[in-house]
């Protein structure tokens, strides 16, 4: 299996290391390259931002209330202006990135794990269990996820854990369906039959032999889903039932800035821009990944681009 | 085909029932509406009387039984906020949302077909690359932020359009809500149209059509598009639930009295009857759309029709 993948990754005779090949493929799609750089920047903001700027983001300076952006009069921290309490927008954006990313990552991880396992079992066991799982997926999918989230978040208090749970559950169906469909095909393959003949239990067959084969597909979906979950979390925080103040996320910052639209447009504009650029980068990168991972399409990235077409 | 549709209808019905049970019990757990509707200093008797009148004193399971027996007579209960039958309240809001969704879907679909086909016609050219990035950007845009930015630009700064509200068929009230609502479905569908048109345009039947001298326009819009449309229809029908999501945001921001806003308001005011009625009716509409799409599929694709 490993050897097979290696030969596929090296297209020409010249032996090159895996990382070099990936970087080369990335460099040939400039949009994807910029997107990757931006995502690295956002992730480092999320990891280090609160450590470095946690104090700055909450320190108020009432003389700088609604200070306009794009001037360096008060240092680079105020280059994106200040909010209605004179707190640095740049510092707040960086601190908010941690909550935004963490909630989305946790929700996607939850959806992928639970949805994936349910789908695996549905595909492998079939019968009434498989039917129930599929109907469950239908129910979740057929109804606007935002409204389910609103009902549930009113029932429990809008704490971070509940938010993650709700976002995760509404995104589960896609993993349930995909892993079930993959299992239905994989379980007919010889290596599964071989494992069975050698006396492996159903549990072992599913989690030891089938699951690793399904995992790459699920991971690809998860990358795209991350963008979707981020948008959903922002919408919930915007409606006031996501993350609660004093915690901040980008969506909540848009909601808070909405009240100052007439006097300070930057309060709502920059956090929304951050959401959009992050989801756009994720989408650009995953569409690059689809081409790079597809042997029949990869040549598009490998040929030197002389002229378009 | 007939049996398939029947099975689909049964599945939809089961899903609908599951959803309804879920929502009924979840909504009851959100808290007691008595405190919301009576003044703080209301006497205990007044509270008792209110709860008694609306049946909140009975066990939840009894309330559920009463709801089911009402449902059998098409009675969805009474709105405690508006003192009117819940079904009437919802049925007033449905046309607003449906109108919004229908116009959005038509504009997004037509736009996506034109842009996606043109992009697929010459893949890799400047138009194609531009269309790809723009469609990705619009699929990534947070709709509430776009709405706010649009209000800021077109209503507050330029003063071209009203900030919110509905004005019957006056077009200036429709431009911003439709524009915001169509951004995401449009972006998604451009990508799907482009993908399926790429496949269709490189197929054998398109080569045959060209070889026998069919005009280029007919090749694209008759031969390729008709085959390329199938995946687009699937995605479009999946967007029905997505547009309902967007409608919640758009109706809240622009103050449209549609189902989305109604549901958010009813949840805020613990108006259980209206929550149930609107979920039941919205889900029924979405299921109907799905079944209609299945039929459209069969009409467009003879291979399915003859199964």
Mutate one of A131, A151, A284 to test the B interface: name it (highest B CB count within 10 A). Answer: A151
Chain A residues in contact with chain B using a Cβ-Cβ cutoff of 8 Å:
31, 135-136, 138-139, 141-147, 150-152, 154-155, 227, 231, 234-235, 238-239, 251, 254, 258, 261-262, 265, 268-269, 271-273, 275-276, 279-280, 282-284, 287, 300, 308-309
Compute the nearest-CA separation of B249 from chain A (Å). 8
DSSP A64: G
User: Which two structure tokens, joined as six digits, stand for A161?
Assistant: 């854990």
- Contact between residue B225 and residue B113 where contact means Cβ atoms under 8 Å apart: yes
pLDDT at B305: 59
pLDDT at B34: 67
pLDDT at A1: 39
C-beta atoms of B144 and A145 within 8 A: no
Within 8 A of A287 by CB-CB distance, chain B residues are 132, 136
C-beta atoms of A276 and B282 within 8 A: no
Of A268, A276, A308, nearest to B124 by CB-CB distance is A308
Chain A within 8 Å of B141 (Cβ-Cβ)?
Answer: yes
Chain A within 8 Å of B122 (Cβ-Cβ)?
Answer: yes
C-beta atoms of A279 and B29 within 8 A: no
Within 8 A of A273 by CB-CB distance, chain B residues are 145
- The C-alpha atoms of residue A222 and residue B105 are separated, in whole angstroms, by 27
- The C-alpha atoms of residue B260 and residue B9 are separated, in whole angstroms, by 25
Higher pLDDT pick, A284 / A69 = A284
Residue B307 pLDDT > 60: no
**Alpha helices, H only, B122-224:** 126-139, 143-150, 171-201, 204-211, 216-218
Question: What are the backbone angles phi and psi of residue A88, rounded to the nearest 5°?
Answer: -65, 125
**Rg of chain B taking only CA atoms, in angstroms:** 24
Residue B270 backbone zone (phi > 0: left; psi -120 to 50: alpha; other: beta): left
- The C-alpha atoms of residue B73 and residue A231 are separated, in whole angstroms, by 41
The Cα-based distances of B60 to A152, B55, B277 in angstroms read 18, 10, 17
User: Which two structure tokens, joined as six digits, stand for A195?
Assistant: 């494992």
Residue A297 pLDDT > 70: no
User: Which two structure tokens, joined as six digits, stand for B299?
Assistant: 């009409």
- The C-alpha atoms of residue A154 and residue A236 are separated, in whole angstroms, by 12
Within 8 A of B245 by CB-CB distance, chain A residues are 144-147, 235
**Rg of chain A taking only CA atoms, in angstroms:** 23
The model's pLDDT over A29-83, given as tens digits with 9 standing for 90+, comes to 778 888 889 989 988 888 887 777 766 777 777 777 777 777 767 676 777 777 7
Which is nearest to A177 in space by CA: A228, A132, A120, A129? A120
Residue A12 pLDDT > 90: no
C-beta atoms of B26 and A258 within 8 A: no
Chain A within 8 Å of B93 (Cβ-Cβ)?
Answer: no
DSSP A28: T
**Domains (range + CATH), chain A:** 28-65+74-301 (1.10.3720.10)
- Compute, in degrees rounded to 10, the torsion defined by CA atoms A116, A120, A126, A130: -10
Residue A10 pLDDT > 60: no
Respond yes or no on whether ipTM tops 0.90: no
**Alpha helices, H only, chain B:** 2-28, 34-37, 44-54, 60-72, 86-121, 126-139, 143-150, 171-201, 204-211, 216-218, 225-254, 259-268, 272-300, 302-305
- The C-alpha atoms of residue B120 and residue B197 are separated, in whole angstroms, by 6
Which is nearest to B248 in space by CA: B306, B179, B161, B181? B181
In the three-class reduction of DSSP (H, G, I as helix; E, B as strand; rest coil), residue B98 is classed as helix
Compute the nearest-CA separation of A303 from chain B (Å). 13
A246 cis-preceded (ω within 30 degrees of 0)? yes
Average pLDDT over residues A174-202: 85
Of A136, A142, A151, nearest to B241 by CB-CB distance is A142
Compute the nearest-CA separation of A63 from chain B (Å). 25
- The C-alpha atoms of residue A184 and residue A170 are separated, in whole angstroms, by 24
Compute the nearest-CA separation of B30 from chain A (Å). 4
User: Which two structure tokens, joined as six digits, stand for A47?
Assistant: 């990891």
Residues listed for chain A:
309
The model's pLDDT over B236-277, given as tens digits with 9 standing for 90+, comes to 777 777 787 788 888 888 888 888 888 888 877 778 788 888
C-beta atoms of A254 and B263 within 8 A: no
Of B12, B29, B140, nearest to A283 by CB-CB distance is B140
- The C-alpha atoms of residue A172 and residue A175 are separated, in whole angstroms, by 6
The model's pLDDT over B194-228, given as tens digits with 9 standing for 90+, comes to 888 888 888 888 888 888 888 888 888 778 887 77
- The C-alpha atoms of residue A191 and residue A200 are separated, in whole angstroms, by 12
Residue A199 backbone zone (phi > 0: left; psi -120 to 50: alpha; other: beta): left
Higher pLDDT pick, B172 / B94 = B94
C-beta atoms of A135 and B18 within 8 A: yes
DSSP B212: T
User: Which two structure tokens, joined as six digits, stand for B175?
Assistant: 């431009």
Mutate one of B145, B264, B288 to test the A interface: name it (highest A CB count within 10 A). Answer: B145
C-beta atoms of A251 and B264 within 8 A: no
The model's pLDDT over A98-131, given as tens digits with 9 standing for 90+, comes to 888 899 999 999 999 999 999 888 888 878 888 8
The model's pLDDT over A242-259, given as tens digits with 9 standing for 90+, comes to 788 778 888 888 888 888
Query: What's the pLDDT band for A15 if we cut at 50, 70, 90?
Result: low
C-beta atoms of A275 and B123 within 8 A: no
Within 8 A of A265 by CB-CB distance, chain B residues are 152
The model's pLDDT over A204-224, given as tens digits with 9 standing for 90+, comes to 888 888 888 888 778 878 877
pLDDT at B32: 65
- Contact between residue A102 and residue A45 where contact means Cβ atoms under 8 Å apart: no
Average pLDDT over residues A252-276: 85
User: Which two structure tokens, joined as six digits, stand for B153?
Assistant: 């630009």
**Is the overall model pTM greater than 0.80, yes or no?**
no
Say which CATH class B94-264 falls into.
mainly alpha
User: How much is the mean pLDDT over chain B?
Assistant: 80
């Amino acid at each position: 299996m490993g050897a097979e993948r290696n030969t596929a990754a090296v297209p020409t005779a010249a032996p090159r290391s895996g990382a070099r090949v990936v970087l080369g493929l990335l460099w040939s799609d400039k949009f994807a390259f910029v997107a990757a750089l931006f995502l690295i920047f956002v992730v480092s903001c999320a990891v280090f931002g609160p450590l470095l700027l946690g104090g700055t983001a909450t320190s108020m300076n009432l003389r700088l209330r609604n200070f306009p952006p794009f001037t360096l009069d008060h240092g680079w921290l105020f280059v994106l202006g200040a909010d209605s309490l004179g707190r640095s927008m740049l510092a707040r954006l960086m601190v908010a990135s941690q909550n935004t990313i963490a909630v989305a990552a946790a929700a996607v991880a939850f959806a992928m794990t639970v949805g994936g396992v349910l789908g695996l079992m549905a595909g492998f066991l079939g019968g009434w269990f498989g039917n129930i799982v599929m109907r469950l997926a239908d129910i979740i999918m057929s109804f606007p996820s935002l409204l389910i989230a609103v009902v549930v978040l009113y029932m429990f208090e809008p704490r971070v854990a509940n938010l993650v749970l709700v976002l995760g559950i509404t995104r589960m169906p896609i993993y349930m369906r995909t892993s079930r469909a993959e299992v239905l095909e994989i379980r007919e393959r010889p290596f599964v039959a071989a494992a069975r003949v050698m006396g492996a239990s159903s549990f072992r067959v599913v989690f030891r032999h089938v699951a690793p084969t399904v995992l790459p597909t699920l991971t690809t979906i998860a990358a795209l889903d991350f963008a979707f979950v981020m948008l959903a979390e922002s919408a919930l925080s915007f409606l006031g039932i996501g993350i609660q103040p004093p915690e901040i996320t980008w969506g909540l910052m848009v909601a808070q800035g909405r009240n100052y639209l007439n006097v300070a447009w930057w309060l709502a504009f920059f956090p929304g821009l951050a959401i959009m650029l992050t989801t756009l980068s994720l989408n650009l990168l995953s569409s690059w990944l689809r081409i790079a991972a597809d042997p029949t399409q990869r040549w598009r990235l490998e040929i030197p681009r002389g002229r378009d077409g | 085909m007939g049996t398939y549709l029947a099975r689909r209808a049964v599945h939809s019905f089961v899903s609908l029932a599951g959803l309804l049970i879920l929502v009924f019990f979840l909504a009851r757990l959100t808290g007691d509406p008595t405190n919301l509707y009576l003044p703080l200093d209301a006497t205990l008797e007044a509270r008792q009387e209110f709860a008694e009148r609306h049946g909140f004193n009975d066990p939840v399971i009894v309330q559920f039984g009463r709801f089911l027996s009402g449902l059998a007579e098409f009675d969805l209960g009474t709105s405690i906020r508006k003192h009117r039958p819940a079904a009437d309240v919802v049925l007033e809001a449905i046309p607003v949302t449906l109108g919004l969704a229908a116009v959005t879907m038509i504009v997004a679909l037509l736009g996506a077909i034109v842009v996606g086909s043109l992009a697929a016609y010459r893949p890799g050219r400047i138009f194609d690359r531009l269309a790809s990035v723009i469609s990705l950007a619009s699929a990534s845009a947070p709709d509430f932020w776009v709405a706010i930015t649009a209000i800021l630009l077109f209503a507050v700064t330029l003063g071209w359009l009203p900030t919110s509200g509905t004005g019957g068929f006056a077009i200036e009230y429709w431009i911003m809500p439709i524009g915001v609502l169509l951004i995401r479905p449009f972006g998604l569908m451009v990508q799907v149209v482009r993908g399926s048109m790429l496949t269709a345009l490189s197929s054998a039947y398109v080569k045959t059509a060209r070889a026998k001298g069919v005009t280029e326009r007919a090749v694209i819009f008759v031969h390729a598009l008709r085959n390329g449309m199938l995946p687009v229809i699937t995605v479009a029908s999946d967007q029905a639930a997505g547009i309902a999501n967007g409608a919640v945001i758009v109706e809240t921001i622009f103050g449209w009295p549609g189902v989305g806003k109604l549901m958010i308001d009813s949840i805020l005011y613990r108006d259980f009857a209206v929550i149930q009625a609107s979920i039941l009716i919205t889900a029924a509409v979405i299921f109907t759309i799905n079944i209609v799409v299945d039929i459209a599929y069969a009409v467009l694709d003879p291979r399915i029709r003859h199964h």
